[in-house]
Chain A
Amino acid sequence: MKHRQTLVLALLLIAGTSAATAQGLLGGQVTGNIQLDGQISRRDSVIGSEDVPQKLLSNARADILYTNGDFSAGLRYEGYLGPMLGFRPDYQGQGIANYFVSYKTQNFAITAGHFYEQFGNGMALRAYEDRYLGIDNALRGINVMYRPFRGIILKGVIGQQRYFWESRGLVRGADAEVSLNDLITPWSEAKTRITLGGSFVSKYEDNSEVILSDIPGFKLNLPRNVATTAFRMDLAHGGFGLQAEYAFKGKDPNDLNNYTYHKGEVLWLSASYSQKGFSANIQAKRVDNMGFRSVRTEAYKEMLYINYTPAISKQHTYAFLSMYPYATQSMGEMGLQADVMYKFKKETLLGGAYGTDLHINASLIKALDTTQIGGIGTDGYTSTFFGTGDTYYGDLSVEIAKKLSSKVKIAATYGYVVFNPIIEGHAGDLHHNHVLVGDLTWKMNKKNSLRFEAEWMGSDSKYDAAVDDKRCGDWIMGLLEYNFAGKWFVSVSDQYAYNDGVGNYYNLSVGYTQGATRLQVGYGKQREGIICIGGVCRNVPASNGLTFSLTTSF
């Protein structure tokens, strides 16, 4: 029945948008984009890839948006036939996964249907989508924004979260944000800008399910309503900035915290300074039992999150530096990050003719100092606020980028990564990795460029078949990428574990771009691992074969 209603809505919308586009009767505009990704993978016992029963896997989506003045409506088709490797098999199928209608003016907005929303940094609520992670926790319900007065924004949401092809849970939330400079007239021109905000998000869940205690004959007394409250502040004065957010959550026994009743809290702080040619930022975060999900028994660790805790480790782009991405430990961590960027001016000793960019980043994230006081059906543990436990992750990267001439640019990076496999659920010692990267780009002319990248990683980790972490060992890598004729690119790369590791991962990729349409075809091997975006991660299984991607927009 639900599918039939969705289909009717989709047809009406498509019919309406077709009419609008073809005849302009409604005076609206239709935009959209389409993406088709495909994969063919076969067995490779060395890297651990398996044959794919369907031979061809594909993920497809098409977003269509109709706008007409203050009104907009949209829908998204998604098809997973079958889901590409690394995506949950529950996505199998196709249909209209997202639809909405929205009315938006300067001071008022309302959306019915699917919507994405974030309160503050997301510590109380973040409904978002990341297609590369296979995460879409859009809320399906009503989202209202009201600006009753200049400087005040009120938001209210109620809805259910998307769960593959269903909706689950029930989430209610409200947020208020006050810009003091906008609200208080004498402060409107002040150099100091202050914004305050507060959020309240509550989930409802039936408590009739039976979660048995370790004590026979007893089950857990489960709360039906669990709330998270957050307060935030954003202060800016010239080049200085200070941001803070604190959120706390009520007793929420769930699969993530082994059904314990410990309350949750998270504190995030960020201080920054910037001026021309220089910027510095330092962040600190303490998270304690803040996994807030709409279904307490959900087994997929990345699904049905209502909130989000910002990552405070750098999202590296180079292959070996990003080989061990850090997944935010929503159940408990404490960390620090510092980031400095400096540009040596032109015509100086270090700046040369074009200037030199220096970027230094370091982060250290540790477990909380906890004392276990019980298991399921208890408060679980106690923790000291400033105490820390084992190291989860640490990294240091120093990157120097310099333009040698109008056509040649080079970059060199040194990175050091400490990684505790426990954060991915594996036992084992800390991995200590040193990484060197050289990156050269030669822009031959307007339509042709060549890029060469070389990487080395030395690690104290050794491949152990029992653990089967294929990232272990010492690695080298080379990549050559040629862009030509303004439309084509071809790249070839190879990663090779030359010591204490396994695998030789070569890749060849060809792409063609015509206007808003791009086609890319690749062939090669993908190492098993995880990818993380903003501290949210998913597993990437090994693959060996062909991939292709077609995107277009209109």
Chain B
Amino acid sequence: MKKIYKALIFLAASAMAMTSCDTIDEDNYLIFSGAAGSWYDANGVADHSQRALLEKYTGVRCIICPDADVVISAAVDSYNGKLVAVSIHDSNVFTRPFGNDPDLRCADGNVMSHYFGVYDARQYPSAIVNRSVVNNNWDLFTPTSGVNERVDAIVNQEATVALDVDAERQSDGIDITVNMEMLQTVSDAMTVTLLIMEDGIVTIQSNHEGKDSNYVQNHVLRDVITDVWGADVDCNGQAGQKRMARFKYTEAQSAWDLDRCHIVAFISNKSSRQILNAAECEID
């Protein structure tokens, strides 16, 4: 009997060693093989929601900024996914970190701050929703109030373009897939901009009482993955067009906690830079 057992064990071990089938789930039958940044026809976007992107310029030494955070955080919760918020720490004096605190300043954020005139105005916090224009000026405002009316004006409209973003961590970086579907015809050229932002960063933050040593910074812009003004969208703009593109991000810093990072994508008018729609996702 010993012989039998040995033989059967040998057989079973051999069979297992010979490897069974590679397991491929239905969701993984296809893998992207196109060129990064190139656009391809796609299946479209299921969620046609119009979302708003709120860019808030802030700093750890800005006393009023925590007030704005409270308002924005409440708005993000109440709009249930229809409001995407980004906190931009430019290089203004208000953004200089305390002691050995993490440096939240972002070079691309600084470029935007200069472009929208926030840096020069030295008015923090400042915010802009969908890069809207009022009376030929950027609709910058202090986001301790006035958030909801601006967001409502956008999210209550029918979307021009539906947008979806998905991000997956790979051994060689982060694969980001952007899907878009034209719901209305747009004659102007468009760009897609990708941001990586991080939640839950604990720093010292100035406030009305002095300083909060355990202030939790959310939606912190870490980097603009595309060019700061976005990458061209290869799409003729006709209603019904369904396009997708894959981007690879390889510059994540070791100090960032990718488990708390999000990817934000937004489509904007290339010339006016006004935002048509935005989307956000976690990094799987």
Contacts and interface: CB of A to CB of B under 8 A. Distances in A.
Interface string A108-128: 000000000000000000000
Interface string B17-38: 0111110101011111110001
B4 interface: yes
Interface stretch (A219-227, A486-494, A505-513): A219-227
Contact of B19 (A210, A219, A225): A225
A218 B246 CA distance: 10
Interface string B239-265: 000001010000000000000000000
B19 A261 contact: no
A166 B220 CA distance: 60
B244 to A, nearest CB: 7
A156 B24 contact: no
Contact of A154 (B7, B30, B43): B7
- Majority SS of interface residues in chain B? mixed
Interface string A464-476: 0000000000000
Interface residues of B, number: 30
A348 B267 CA distance: 94
Given A216-B34, A216-B41, A377-B30, A250 B7 contact: no
Contacts of B29: 220-221, 253, 261, 377-378
Contact of B31 (A219, A227, A261): A219
Contact of A223 (B8, B21, B41): B21
A148 B4 contact: yes
Contact of A149 (B3, B28, B42): B3
B14 interface: yes
A92 B41 CA distance: 45
A210 B34 CA distance: 11
A204 interface: yes
Nearest to A146: B7
A251 B24 contact: yes
B248 to A, nearest CB: 13
A152 interface: yes
Nearest to A155: B11
Given A149-B3, A223-B24, A217 B32 contact: yes
Contacts of A215: 30, 40-43
A176 interface: yes
A66 interface: no
A495 interface: no
B153 interface: no
A224 B21 CA distance: 8
A173 B19 CA distance: 10
A219 B15 contact: no
Given A148-B7, A224-B22, A218 B34 contact: yes
Closest 8 CB pairs of A and B: A250-B21, A217-B34, A217-B40, A219-B33, A223-B22, A148-B7, A216-B40, A218-B30
17 contacts: A146-B7, A148-B6, A154-B10, A174-B11, A202-B19, A215-B40, A215-B41, A215-B43, A216-B40, A217-B32, A217-B33, A217-B38, A221-B29, A221-B30, A226-B21, A227-B21, A261-B24
Interface of B: 3-4, 6-8, 10-11, 14-15, 18-22, 24, 26, 28-34, 38, 40-43, 244, 246
